[in-house]
Amino acid sequence: MTRRERQELIDKGLLLPLMEEFYTIQGEGFHKGTAAYFVRIGGCDVGCHWCDVKESWLAELHPPTETEKIVENAVKYSDTIIVTGGEPLTWDMGPLTAQLKAKGVQTHIETSGAYKLTGEWDWICLSPKKMKLPTDEVFEKAHELKCIIFNKDDFRFAEEQAAKVNKDCILYLQPEWSKRDKMMPLIVDYVMANPKWKVSLQTHKYLNIP
C-alpha cells in the first residue's frame, strides 16, 4: 500500500491510529464501575498541559489499524465499547461505530468535542477544554458533561459549559489527579452549594487498574 493510499483510508476512517486497547472497568462519570473495552485512538492537538496520556498526541507514533480488526477484537471482550484518545473526533468515527453497532454493542465516546461529531453513539461524555471549545452540535447531543477542575477558574469555565448543554445532560466536576487533594474540598463545597453538579472521581486510579 502506498502512502497516499494509506492516507486515503485514514481520511475515510477505515484506518485509525490505534494507540492501545484494553478491557477494564470504567472509572469515571455516569458509567463508573461498568466493565468496558477501551479503544484509545492516537492524535490530539488540544494540548492540555495536565493530560495524563501525552504519548497519545502524535498520531504518527501509532500504527494505522483497520477498523474491522479493531471491532473484531473489541467485541470478543465486552458489549460496551468506549472510544477515547487522544481526541477521537480528529478522525471520522462513522465506519468504526457503524461496524460496532452492526455487532449489537453499545458505543461510548470520551471527547473534548473540539471537532465535528461523527459516528453513532449511545453515550457521549463531553469534557471541554479551554484551548479548543466544543462544537454546538456536541453540546446539544452530550449525555454527560465532565469538567476537570485544575484551579479555581475552572469552576467559572464549568458553568459556562453547563449553560450550553441540553437539559438532560448530567453534570460532573472531576479533580485533576495531581491536584486532587487541594481541589477536592473545593469541589465538595461547590457541589453542595450547586447540587445540579455531581462529583466524578478517577476511581480506576484508586483501584490501581488501567
Contact 146, 125 (CB under 8 A): yes
Q: Which residue has the cell 449511545?
A: 122
26 is in an annotated binding site: yes
99 is in an annotated binding site: no
Please state, in angstroms and rounded to a whole number, the distance separating the CA atoms of residues 72 and 105: 12
169 is in an annotated binding site: no
- CA nearest neighbour of 118 among 38, 21, 16: 16
**Strands 15-25 vs 35-41: parallel, antiparallel or unpaired:** antiparallel
84 is in an annotated binding site: yes
Contact 134, 152 (CB under 8 A): no
190 backbone dihedrals φ, ψ, rounded to 5°: -65, -45
Sign of CA dihedral 102, 103, 105, 108: negative
180 is in an annotated binding site: no
40 is in an annotated binding site: yes
Contacts made by residues 206-210, CB under 8 angstroms, sequence distance 24+ = 207/25, 207/27, 209/24, 209/25, 209/27, 210/22, 210/24, 210/38
86 is in an annotated binding site: yes
And the C-alpha cell for 142?
Answer: 452530550
Q: Tell me the binding residues for substrate.
A: 25-27, 40, 84, 210
Q: Tell me the binding residues for S-adenosyl-L-methionine.
A: 50-52, 86, 127-129
Q: Tell me the binding residues.
A: 25-27, 40, 44, 48, 50-52, 84, 86, 127-129, 210
Q: Tell me the binding residues for [4Fe-4S] cluster.
A: 44, 48, 51
